[in-house]
Chain A
């Protein structure tokens, strides 16, 4: 065998080995690309399906049914008192929120009085986010029951009863709907088969979700959020602490020189004022209340 021949054989063998190695690298890379593609496809498909599925499952933010007399965009707000009163009190409240209970127990008589004197128009946003934090159903059931009471024309009276009998925040008493129906017995005329079925079937559940979503988007993050003519006044209005006396003073100041609205008890009938514009700037407060 000549030198030359031997050399040729060696290089041929080497070339083959190199080619095989190159092929292996190519195959490995191809396999890796396939795996990468599969991974990305699974993730994209998963997320895409998720968006479609959840979109179908979530309730529309425009409710099919709203309680009679609800006002504002999409009828999410419950009015109380005369719509033609010169000042508007906007209240965001969760039935399970202890601070809301404290606010109502202290201020409900004053607010009711101001409304009955034609000085104040109440706009109630019935929020239900405590269920999310403490887990449970009491906020949503309570909000639905309030909507049912509004539908029957007894919002104010039932609202006052509810907050006077509020359980501790962490105790989800109102997951039991019969407790809400029991409380309705304290409002003469409210408890009826219509009201009971409204509470039991969660008739305004979609409306409750829509009100909550509207609150989520409002930029207000706590309840009670209380606005007088669009300006936050709870727990403070500027430097002044809110008290029943101060509330009366602020309303009178705001109403100076203005025509008062209709007088009389608004709790007797639902206010069918769907044309009334809601005074709600829907703007986040400069600094969220604690």
Chain B
């Protein structure tokens, strides 16, 4: 019936900012966790990057050292809710890059731990978890894409600024 459909639609419209709030904070936890796990040991973070055998040695350290801080910065922006749509777009690009990197490593037959949440580097061929790593990142990607479409959320700087 058209009436109940309308009600459902209105309910969804009311719920959306709340869903976006949960998604925003969820993605913030992911980035904070990923970043903080990698900050403690710069050498391990650099090796995790090197193990992919994609970047030239000159870029291994800048990426290994800078990426965890970038992830933490994304987490901070998501927590305060500043520029959620652009942060979500950047998150999605970053996650797509990670997925592509893991897939390429898998395709080339290199056995590594993705180093997504600390650690990383070579592992025994039987210890790789490429499928799980990619599925997990796709899950995170869906969170980011939700925020690209529905960036308005409660308790955010964006709402306060009314952008």
Residues of A participating in the B interface, judged by any CB pair closer than 8 Å: 28, 31-32, 35-36, 38-40, 42-43, 45-51, 53-55, 57-59, 129, 132-133, 209, 212-213, 216-217, 221-222, 288, 290
Given A35-B86, A36-B83, decide whether A50 and B47 contact each other with a Cβ distance below 8 A. Answer: no
Contacts A57-B42, A59-B43 given; indicate if A46 touches B69 (C-beta within 8 A). Answer: yes
Across-interface contacts of A51 in B (CB, < 8 A): 61-62, 65-66, 69
| Contact for A42 among B77, B111, B121, CB less than 8 A | B77
Contacting B43 at CB < 8 Å: which of A36, A38, A209?
A209
Q: Which of B42, B44, B124 makes the CB contact (< 8 A) with A132?
A: B44
A225 to chain B, nearest CB (A): 11
CB B45 to nearest CB in A, in angstroms, measures 7
Whether A46 lies near B121 (C-beta < 8 A) is: no
* Docked-complex contact A35 and B42, CB < 8 angstroms: no
Interface residues of B (CB under 8 A from A): 39, 42-47, 50-51, 57, 61-62, 64-70, 72-74, 76-77, 82-83, 86-87, 90, 110-113, 119-125, 158, 161, 163
Question: Inside 8 A of A129's CB, which chain B residues have their CB?
Answer: 47, 121-122
What is the distance, in angstroms, from A87's C-beta to the closest C-beta of chain B?
Answer: 27
Interchain CB contact (< 8 A) of B67 among A47, A53, A216: A47
Please determine whether A222 and B42 come into contact, CB atoms closer than 8 angstroms: no
In the bound complex, do residue B65 and residue A36 qualify as a contact, i.e. CB atoms below 8 Å apart? no
Contact, CB under 8 Å: B124 / A290 = yes
From B70, B86, B110, B121, give the contact of A36 (CB < 8 A).
Answer: B86
